Chains A and B, each alone.
Chain A
Amino acid sequence: MSQSLSEECTPLKRKYDACFNAWFEGYLEPAVSASVTPEQRTKFSQEKAAEFEKACGKIWQEYRECVQKAVKDKGLESLLSQARQSHPLKEAPPASHDPPRS
């Protein structure tokens, strides 16, 4: 697994990545199968979102705190917030070939 921006965050990052990957690998294929009806999909998604929070929520808080500081220390905070402003990307961009305009 790769490193974090800041060396001190790398152990937390690796723990978090491992936690996410373990959850995600158990999630993806059943999620595809559970998407037959919207009701089924919502029920499954709620369960799995809660499961993810329970499994990885704590390590995520620790890692996020560390990485937020690293982003600040590297002087990336304003660049990131500018990028978020011009492309919030709260939803997946539509399947057109044109990237969104800024």
Chain B
Amino acid sequence: MHYFSQLFNYDHPWSHVVIGMWHKYPNAHCSHVVTIDVVDRSVDPNTGIVRTERILGCKQKAPTWIVKLFGGSEDAFVREVSFIDPATQTATITSVNLSLSQFATCYETIRYSPASRGQTSFHQTAEIQAQMNLWRTASDKLENWLVQRFEQNAQLGKLGFSDVLRQLWENRDRQQAQTA
């Protein structure tokens, strides 16, 4: 498991940053994000919290061996859920990869809150975890398959050589019987 974390301030007030969140893409610096769709959104009539669930489509630059080994395509998708709470002036955005998530997950959380002098603090954490259990299942499966193949081949080898021996010695016996 790997962790990543960074903290810095944007030189803009909180409300400007949070309004800006919805205008982040398309962005020349993040050209890998190609599509964005809202799949669920609610405005809580009691708390005023705006919850938004989106799917981001990215052109992934995954190593080609991953794509070849595990299938998948060049498109990678991310699920993002954000909460904007005007009462506490907190915006929390979490995102996790949907593509290849059976092998590894990258779980990211971003939090924007007001800082001093009209600035906004940005706190980002990420947890990257390979799904070891699933790797183990996959390697167990591979081992079982290899054992089976080995057993089958060993069996075939035994049958094949038995035939060779039988034919060889049957012929020899026949020849000897004829010459005798």
- Listed in ascending order, the chain A residues whose CB lies under 8 Å from chain B are 1-5, 9, 13, 16-17, 20-21, 24-25, 27-29, 31-32, 34-35, 41-42, 44-46, 48-50, 52, 60, 63-64, 67-68, 70-71, 74, 76, 79-80, 82-84, 87, 89-93, 95, 97-99, 102
A42 to B47, CA, bound (A): 6
- Listed in ascending order, the chain B residues whose CB lies under 8 Å from chain A are 5, 15, 18-19, 22-23, 25-26, 33-39, 41, 43-51, 53, 55, 57, 75, 77, 79, 81, 83-87, 89-90, 92, 94, 96, 98-99, 101, 105, 107, 109, 111, 125, 127
Given contacts A2-B33, A9-B37, A67-B39, contact A83 B48 (CB under 8 A): no
A46 to B46, CA, bound (A): 7
9 CB-based A-B contacts, threshold 8 Å:
A2-B25, A9-B37, A20-B22, A27-B86, A32-B15, A45-B45, A49-B48, A93-B92, A99-B109
The 5 A-B pairs at the shortest CB distance, nearest first, are namely A31-B86, A45-B48, A92-B83, A35-B87, A49-B43
Could you tell me if B39 and A48 are in contact, using CB atoms closer than 8 angstroms?
Answer: no
| Nearest Cβ on chain B to A46's Cβ, whole angstroms | 5
User: What are the residues of chain A within 8 A of B44 when measuring CB–CB?
Assistant: 45, 49
A45 to B67, CA, bound (A): 46
Could you tell me if B34 and A83 are in contact, using CB atoms closer than 8 angstroms?
Answer: no
Could you tell me if A20 and B41 are in contact, using CB atoms closer than 8 angstroms?
Answer: yes
Candidates A31, A63, A74, A99; contact of B94 at CB < 8 Å? A99
User: What are the residues of chain B within 8 A of A83 when measuring CB–CB?
Assistant: 79, 96, 98, 101
A20 to B22, CA, bound (A): 9
Could you tell me if B19 and A45 are in contact, using CB atoms closer than 8 angstroms?
Answer: no
Could you tell me if B48 and A93 are in contact, using CB atoms closer than 8 angstroms?
Answer: no
A7 to B137, CA, bound (A): 38
A68 to B37, CA, bound (A): 10
Q: Is the interface of B mostly helix, strand, loop or mixed?
A: strand
Number of A-B contacts (CB under 8 A): 135
Could you tell me if A29 and B45 are in contact, using CB atoms closer than 8 angstroms?
Answer: no
User: What are the residues of chain B within 8 A of A89 when measuring CB–CB?
Assistant: 53, 81, 94
User: What are the residues of chain B within 8 A of A79 when measuring CB–CB?
Assistant: 77, 98-99, 101
Q: A20-B38, A28-B15 are in contact. List 17 more A-B contacts (CB 8 A).
A: A5-B57, A20-B41, A21-B19, A25-B19, A28-B19, A34-B48, A35-B87, A41-B87, A42-B46, A49-B48, A79-B99, A80-B98, A89-B81, A95-B90, A95-B111, A99-B109, A99-B125
User: What are the residues of chain B within 8 A of A84 when measuring CB–CB?
Assistant: 79
A45 to B87, CA, bound (A): 11
User: What are the residues of chain B within 8 A of A52 when measuring CB–CB?
Assistant: 43
